[in-house]
């Protein structure tokens, strides 16, 4: 067997070409190869932050390269120090559930039959920091988590801008329900996946099974319902499921990036149902809450000084995801460069919180518009509509940020500089030659401008 160091060195060379020097230094230099699994290479990363960041931003790139270099299809990460072992949360296991055990819908739609609840164990109420910005949302979510049956907050609708903790709360509710009663059927699902499942079920003449499955859950946790926009048939079936569950006192929790009244492209009768229970809002945390969030994230993983935390909290004013982004890079730099001076910190904030974040904002806008998940835009799929959306995101990133083409490529889909040039040229030509494309770009342009100005 090849020595894992030799193999990983080979991979590193190729990764360096793709991601550029600064990302490479921050994210890849600290990784150590540990060996091989049956179909994987095992890599050691310094902490959980690192692990999550790499998973989110570079996993498909790393997988592609590993596959090419040593023919392994998987990449496994282990966390070095103070490592919390990867916990598997309590999950709905259909093997213990006769109704679901026999459902062909489950077999066709859930890859992991041992975990159809789709809950991420890392999101719980214990690690959700409370402040004025989220107090009502958190307490009502906790109430639902403790008493999901016949709860007066049904549905609970949580709305707020990107990165403010909607998904965190949604999963925390599900985890709490299952913690109290393992037999509860909790299903937590992204609206885009919900739509895909419904389309598949129609294709295989099985829509009955789809509605039957969802009408038999104890709690339906549906993330980002704005993505149901214009999906008439899915909305109809959701309306039916909603009524079934509501009548039985089963809980429904929804999240959205806007208040129900602004959910365009959703049927009135559905939106009016969404307003039956309680609607709560998440807003941007104040300074003290930001500091508390950063401290809680830091305490699990690394030593980072209070002054660094305060510095970050004072200067990042948008949302918690951005706070985390800056913090993660600061942590990575601390482990590679020990002392973090203010200049380095300010650079991180400038880079992450302006460039990366602007690119994030643009990509979210484009993903909304094309109704394609953000993971697809950042991912590697070559499917036509996804590839077009990605090109559009690159086009706007070039138009509105100061990032180099190389950075844009590495942030959007791990592509190289020439792919970005090609994408931007392609969109510019289409704008000139196709009316439809011009209109589309004009519309997205308005949205992008709005989001970029929204410094909050
Ligand atoms: P949204 O779904 O609103 O876009 P997420 O729930 O994905 O946002 O949150 C983004 C990140 O910020 C997650 O890692 C989440 O754990 C973290 N986060 C958000 N709000 C809080 C909070 N109040 N306390 C701790 N972490 C938070
Ligand atoms: Mg979310």
pLDDT (tens digit per residue) in 295-341: 888 765 566 778 888 888 988 877 888 888 778 777 766 655 566 67
Q: Residue 1 Cα, ligand 2 centroid: separation in angstroms?
A: 42
- Under a CB-based contact definition with an 8 Å cutoff, are residues 380 and 64 in contact? yes
CA–centroid distance, residue 129 to ligand 2 (Å): 17
Query: How much of the chain exceeds pLDDT 70, in percent?
Result: 89
Check pocket membership of 129 for ligand 1, CB cut-off 6 A. Answer: yes
Judged against a pLDDT cut of 90, whether residue 3 lies above it is answered with no
Q: 129: CA distance to ligand 1 center in Å?
A: 9
d(CA 372, CA 51): 25
Q: In what order do the strands lie in the sheet with 251-256?
A: 186-190, 219-223, 251-256, 156-160, 278-282
Q: Is the pLDDT of residue 83 over 50?
A: no
Query: Which helix (DSSP H) or strand (DSSP E) does residue 42 occupy?
Result: strand 40-45
Nearest ligand atom owner, CA of 281 = 1
Residues 6 or more apart whose CB falls under 8 angstroms from that of 403 comprise: 355, 358, 359, 397, 411
Mean pLDDT of 209-236: 95
Beta carbons of 413 and 56 less than 8 angstroms apart: no
Answer yes or no: are the C-beta atoms of 93 and 114 closer than 8 Å.
Answer: yes
252: pLDDT confidence band, cut at 50, 70 and 90? very high
DSSP bridge pairs for 186: 219
Residue 152 is predicted with a pLDDT of 95
Indicate which ligand has the atom closest to the C-alpha of 282. 1
What is the atom index within ligand 1 of the atom nearest the CA of 320? 12
319 Cβ closer than 6 Å to some ligand 1 atom: no
At 455 the pLDDT is 43
- CA atoms of 180 and 175, how far apart (whole Å): 9
Structure-model confidence comparison of residues 198 and 454, the more confident one: 198
Beta bridge partners of 189: 222
Measured from the CB, is residue 164 less than 6 Å from ligand 1? yes
Q: Is the pLDDT of residue 137 over 80?
A: yes
163 ligand 1 Cβ < 6 A: yes
List of domains in the chain: 2-82 (3.30.300.180), 87-281 (3.40.50.300), 287-452 (1.10.1750.10)
Q: What is the mean pLDDT of the chain?
A: 85
| Helices and strands (H and E) in the chain: how many | 22, 8
Mean of pLDDT values over 83-98: 52
Angle at 385 between CA 232 and CA 351, to 5 degrees: 110
Instruction: Please give the pLDDT value at position 92.
Output: 55
Q: Determine whether the shortest distance from the Cβ of 321 to ligand 1 is under 6 A.
A: yes
Whole-angstrom distance, CA of residue 379 vs CA of residue 362: 15
**Full-model pTM:** 0.67
Percent of the chain scored above 90 by pLDDT?
Answer: 43
User: For ligand 1, what atom is nearest to the CA of residue 257?
Assistant: 3
Residue 170 CA: nearest ligand 1 atom is 6
- Per-residue pLDDT of 399-411, as tens digits, reads 988 777 887 887 7
Residue 223 above 90 pLDDT? yes
Task: Using the predicted structure, report yes or no on whether residue 276 has a pLDDT greater than 90.
Answer: yes
For ligand 1, mutation pick of 165, 285, 296 (most atoms within 8 Å of CB): 165
Helix (H) or strand (E) holding 396: helix 384-400
Spatial contact of 216 and 248, defined as CB atoms under 8 Å apart = no
**The pLDDT value given to residue 319:** 84
């Amino acid at each position: 067997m090849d020595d894992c160091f030799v193999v990983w060195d080979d991979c590193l060379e190729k990764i360096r070409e793709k991601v550029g020097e600064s990302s490479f230094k921050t994210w890849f230099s600290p990784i150590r190869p540990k060996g091989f699994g049956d179909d994987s290479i095992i890599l050691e990363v310094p902490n959980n932050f690192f692990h999550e960041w790499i998973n989110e931003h570079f996993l498909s790139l790393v997988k592609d390269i590993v596959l090419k270099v040593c023919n392994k299809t998987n990449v496994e990460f282990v966390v070095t120090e103070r490592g919390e072992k990867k916990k598997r949360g309590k999950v709905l296991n259909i093997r213990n559930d006769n109704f679901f055990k026999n459902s062909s819908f489950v077999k066709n739609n859930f890859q992991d039959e041992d975990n159809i609840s789709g809950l991420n164990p890392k999101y719980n109420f214990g690690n959700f920091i409370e402040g004025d910005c989220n107090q009502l949302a958190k307490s009502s979510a906790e109430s639902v988590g403790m008493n999901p049956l016949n709860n007066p907050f049904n549905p609970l609708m949580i709305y707020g801008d990107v990165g403010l903790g909607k998904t965190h709360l949604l999963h925390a509710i599900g985890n709490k329900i299952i913690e109290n009663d393992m037999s509860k059927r909790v299903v937590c699902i992204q609206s885009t996946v919900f739509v895909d499942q419904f389309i598949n079920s129609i294709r295989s003449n099985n829509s009955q099974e789809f509605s039957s499955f969802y009408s038999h859950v104890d709690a339906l946790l549906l993330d980002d319902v704005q993505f149901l926009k214009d999906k008439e048939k899915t909305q109809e079936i959701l309306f039916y499921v909603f009524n079934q569950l509501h009548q039985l006192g089963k809980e429904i929790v929804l999240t959205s990036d806007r208040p129900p009244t602004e959910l365009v492209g959703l049927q009135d009768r559905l939106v009016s149902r969404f307003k039956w229970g309680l609607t709560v809002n998440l807003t941007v945390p104040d300074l003290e809450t930001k500091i508390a969030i950063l401290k809680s994230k830091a305490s699990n993983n690394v030593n980072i000084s209070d002054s660094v935390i305060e510095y970050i909290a004072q200067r990042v004013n948008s949302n918690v995801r951005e706070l985390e982004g800056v913090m993660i890079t600061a942590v990575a730099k601390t482990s590679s460069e020990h002392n973090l001076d203010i200049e380095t910190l300010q650079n991180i904030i400038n880079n992450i919180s302006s460039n990366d974040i602007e690119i994030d904002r643009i990509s979210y806008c484009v993903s909304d518009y094309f109704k394609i998940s953000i993971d697809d835009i950042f991912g590697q799929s070559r499917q036509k509509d996804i590839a077009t959306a990605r090109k559009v995101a690159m086009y706007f990133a070039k138009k509105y940020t100061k990032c180099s083409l190389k950075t844009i490529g590495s942030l959007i889909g791990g592509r190289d500089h020439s792919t970005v040039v090609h994408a931007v040229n392609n969109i510019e030509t289409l704008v000139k030659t196709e009316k439809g494309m011009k209109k589309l770009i004009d519309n997205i342009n308005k949205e992008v401008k709005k989001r970029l100005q929204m410094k909050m």
